[in-house]
Amino acid sequence: MEKKPVILAVDDDLQVLAAIDRDLRQEFRRDYRVLRANSGAEALATLRELQVRNESLALVVADQRMPEMEGVELLEQVRALFPQARRVLLTAYADTEAAIRAINHARLDYYLMKPWDPPQQLLYPTLHDLLSAWQATHQPRFQGIRLIGFQWSPLSHALKDFLAGYMVAFQWLDFEAQPEAAALLARVGLTTADLPVVVFEDGTALARPERAAVAEKMGLAIAATQELYDVVVIGAGPSGLAAAVYGASEGLKTLIIERESPGGQAGTSSRIENYLGFPTGLSGTELAHRAWAQAVRLGAEFLAPQEVTNLCVKDGYKVLTLSNGNEVRTRAVVLTTGVSYRTLEVPGIDQLTGAGVYYGAARTEARSCQEQDVYIVGGGNSAGQAAMYLATYARRVYILIRGESLAASMSAYLIEQIGRTPNIEILPHTQVAAVRGQDHLETVVISRNGEEEARPARALFVFIGARPSTEWVCEQVICDGRGYVLTGRDLVQDPRYASSWKRQREPYALETCIPGIFAAGDSRAGAMARVASAVGEGSMAIKFVHQYLDE
């Protein structure tokens, strides 16, 4: 909700100021916030603070005779800062001629005589008329985080994705395209060398911030509160969120640690239409935050964005080392680290990543593709969902696939939707040969049947398979040749790994080679890459955690 618009009263006579403040509050406090200042300098400081906080100013009532700055001079400056605000001069009878000149030359809205008693006759009717006129043309100001940056800055893109991943409402201000971006940057005392800049609702600003600093300012937890947990879940994708919900609901002291934003790869999906119980579909972000809120309500604790860099076993407890050097102790661990998109290895890709080349849906960039051509590499469900979403903005969406059709890699319902969307075109037997551009993507070079063709492009979205995010843990637990974590009978049936299991019982179905450490979701060997199966595995993992803790 927008904060109440402000009415500002200014007078150097503290007794008069108290009287006007009292009368304004009595009549207008229901719909407006009444502030006061006892000098022109104090009033200007207040107005500049309102600007930085992006609050609305409806009316200024200022006394004419003030030392250092007369009321007319102050109200002229108010017009420069808040052009739409109504400006009223408060004057004595002897100054009426000056007040009339001010209305003609300084374009004041009105002047009022002192004293204004009774206010019901001499004050309120005039101010009500002025405020009604202001309300008729008032455009509510955005309330929340504002992000100033350059459209083609990879760091700006990363911050946009981070804020969107946590479903934080924010206003994007492109420094090169929106004049208010430069004005806001000047008001917070920073320069273009500091971009991107995050300006918070309280007016404070962070220049080129790390995600952890933004997260702390947003109120996210950055340190564990318990000395020992029953279970720590590493990764907040669908499987990790399910494990957190079931662990917390069953009374376990549960901590979930996420290095980026909740939802994992599924969280970037613009639309998930085949998840049980949502017949009209929902976005991956929405699903993730429903689960996040559910887990928190049930008592789970979250650390984000925090990254686990090491895992070891000491005296039977699992000790996790975080990237900031802190340690977390727990009795059991559930690895739900998920997967990340494979990188596209073509000339020019490194320089343009985050500046027109994006991995995943990058929904924050969709509006910048208005009436432009965009390209998608990949034929899986994530690529199909992104194509449908981008088609509502882009002039044309091209899906590049190596094979003949999408039938082998994409769900039938998505193929049917794409077929009915006139501005989506599938290019079979096609690969990206190179990407080109100065500071941002300008051209995609495609190769079709051995022939190369350069095409103008606003954006390239890459969905070319995934790799497990397990590089940090494969030295502790056994992974297969591709980096996926081996669990359960896969450990004891393969003679290469049978000696790694030291207990008399067989490992539980989702247990790794280390008792009490479990794996679930897409980073587990043999897992099915679907949201529903990931949720199921995360839920099952808590059952096995209970069995382990009861030993």
Residue with tokens 């500049």: 48
Architecture of domain 229-340+467-549: 3-Layer(bba) Sandwich (3.50)
Q: Indicate whether 45 pLDDT > 60.
A: yes
Report the C-alpha gap between 492 and 226 in whole angstroms.
35
For residue range 380-389, list pLDDT tens digits in order: 998 999 999 9
- In this prediction the pTM is 0.80
For residue range 265-310, list pLDDT tens digits in order: 888 787 888 888 888 888 888 899 999 999 999 999 999 899 999 9
Mean pLDDT of the 471-482 span: 92
Q: Is 100 exposed, middle or buried (0-12, 13-18, 19+ CB in 10 A)?
A: middle
Rounded to 5°, the CA angle 165-257-282 comes to 35
Q: Indicate whether 106 pLDDT > 70.
A: no
Q: Indicate whether 97 pLDDT > 80.
A: no
φ, ψ (nearest 5 deg) of residue 114: -100, 140
Mean pLDDT of the 343-372 span: 90
- Would you give the DSSP letter of residue 360? S
For residue range 58-93, list pLDDT tens digits in order: 999 999 889 889 898 999 999 989 999 999 998 886
Mean pLDDT of the 311-338 span: 95
Domain ranges across the chain: 6-137, 145-218, 229-340+467-549, 349-464
Q: Indicate whether 53 pLDDT > 90.
A: no
Helices (H), 3-118: 14-28, 40-52, 71-81, 96-105
For residue range 373-431, list pLDDT tens digits in order: 999 999 999 899 999 999 999 999 999 999 999 998 999 999 999 999 999 999 999 99
User: Does CATH number 3.50.50.60 belong to domain 349-464?
Assistant: yes
Closest CA to 376 of 495, 463, 493: 463
Query: Superfamily assignment of 145-218 in CATH?
Result: Glutaredoxin (3.40.30.10)
Q: Concatenated DSSP letters for 87-145?
A: EEEEE-GGGHHHHHHHHHHT--SEEEESP--SHHHHTHHHHHHHHHHHHHH--PPP-SE
* 264/128: higher pLDDT: 128
- Provide the CATH topology of domain 6-137: Rossmann fold (3.40.50)
229-340+467-549 against 349-464: fold identical? yes
For residue range 129-165, list pLDDT tens digits in order: 999 999 988 888 788 899 999 999 999 999 999 998 8
User: If you average pLDDT over every residue of the chain, what do you get?
Assistant: 92
